[in-house]
Amino acid sequence: MKANVLEAPDQPIIWKEVEKPTLAAGEVLVKIKAAGLNRRDYWISIGKYAGLKYPTILGSDGAGTVAEIGEGVDNIWLNKEVIINPSNNWGDDDNYQGKDFKILGLPDNGTFAEYVKTRAEYLYDKPAYLNWEQSAAFPLAGLTAFRALFTKGRAKKGDTVLISGVGGGTGAFALQWAVAAGCKVFVTSGSGEKIEQARQLGAQAGVNYKAQDWAEELQHLSGGFDVIIDSALGEGFAKFADLAKPGGRIVYFGATAGDMPAIPGRKVYWKQLQILGTTMGTSKDFEAMLAFMNEYQIVPVIDELFPLAEAGKAIEKMGTSSHFGNIVLKA
């Protein structure tokens, strides 16, 4: 088969012939129809991610048809249209991932290839109302945002929610989930264009976080937040204690702007705030997300499609952070 292979960090990703995976018991081979990019792929490509190994085939998100099944796998899966849950080996406790947890696309070879190997337990029926590209766009980012918003943040209808840094895939999904759930949603972004795109998806308003008084403006517009979703940390994170309503939940799943700053601790305990970290999600979270999507017929936002053989170009675009929503490779 052919695959996009990363031989070393900061090296071009090469579309080349590689050996097709062989299956062990319980495993399946999926012929990829579309594969979605995530920020994770970009960080791996420049060598800034834990557990790096080379050569590697990137890609956590994929949709396709089951081409082969291993021993013990039900024949019902053969030729079925599927999506793949990239959150593997979560463990026994829903509250946190176990020591064997891993994400498809490192250390195991991922979806930026003609075929990908996974275990049958991570297969789910492709949502009938979505095309291949839309189906490949949401598993990792959608799951991360869903757990952050609902499992950790306990967002519910009528809550006021802030999505900090709305432009990328996780931010866009958090916005779509919150709007569908009946929340009143506000956003921040460094781009006025992205704020307008968020408004078109149902955000009440947005503020450019590059403005000196961004937090004060958000407070004036919203009256405060029940749930705040963030993926950056950095100095701006300290403002969330002011923006959160009493009893509010501040949930984060990334640190792209640096480490957590000094936080006004008295406000945290006096307002009974919760600061919660999260990563990916359980199979229960994934199944709840699929049910939620099917109920509300939510369609992922796709910024741009690239041919499957051009993963390198797609990752270069992701590195510019110019996209809104998802970047997808099409077979």
Looking at residue 167, its pLDDT comes to 82
Could you tell me if 225 and 245 are in contact, meaning their C-beta atoms sit under 8 angstroms apart?
A: yes
Q: 234-275, pLDDT tens digit by residue?
A: 888 999 999 999 999 999 998 888 888 899 999 999 999 999
Looking at residue 81, its pLDDT comes to 98
Q: Which residues pair with 88 in a beta bridge?
A: 102
CA atoms within 13 A on the CB side of 58: 32
Model-level pTM? 0.95
Q: Which token pair is 331?
A: 């077979």
Q: Report the share of the chain in percent with pLDDT over 70.
A: 100
Looking at residue 301, its pLDDT comes to 95
pLDDT at 116 over 90: yes
pLDDT at 121 over 90: yes
With cut-offs at 50, 70 and 90, classify the pLDDT of residue 218.
very high
pLDDT at 306 over 90: yes
Helix-helix angle 283-296:139-146, to 10 degrees: 100
Could you tell me if 64 and 118 are in contact, meaning their C-beta atoms sit under 8 angstroms apart?
A: no
Looking at residue 322, its pLDDT comes to 87
Looking at residue 216, its pLDDT comes to 95
pLDDT at 30 over 90: yes
pLDDT at 10 over 90: no
Looking at residue 169, its pLDDT comes to 85
Lowest average pLDDT, out of 132-136, 143-147, 235-239, goes to 235-239
pLDDT at 34 over 90: yes
Q: 192-206, pLDDT tens digit by residue?
A: 999 999 999 999 999
* Of 136-140, 187-191, 210-214, 253-257, highest mean pLDDT: 136-140
Looking at residue 7, its pLDDT comes to 94
Question: For the residues 9-29, what does the mean pLDDT come to?
Answer: 95
Question: For the residues 54-63, what does the mean pLDDT come to?
Answer: 96
Query: When comparing pLDDT for 322 and 119, which is higher?
Result: 119
Residue length, the chain?
331
Query: When comparing pLDDT for 322 and 23, which is higher?
Result: 23
Q: 160-192, pLDDT tens digit by residue?
A: 999 999 988 899 999 999 999 999 999 999 999
Looking at residue 67, its pLDDT comes to 98
Looking at residue 110, its pLDDT comes to 97
With cut-offs at 50, 70 and 90, classify the pLDDT of residue 84.
very high
State in Å, rounded, how far the first CA of the chain is from the last one.
Answer: 13
- Taking the C-alpha atoms of residue 221 and residue 224, their distance in angstroms, rounded to an integer, is 8
Pairing of strands 27-36, 115-119: antiparallel
Looking at residue 321, its pLDDT comes to 86
Looking at residue 232, its pLDDT comes to 87
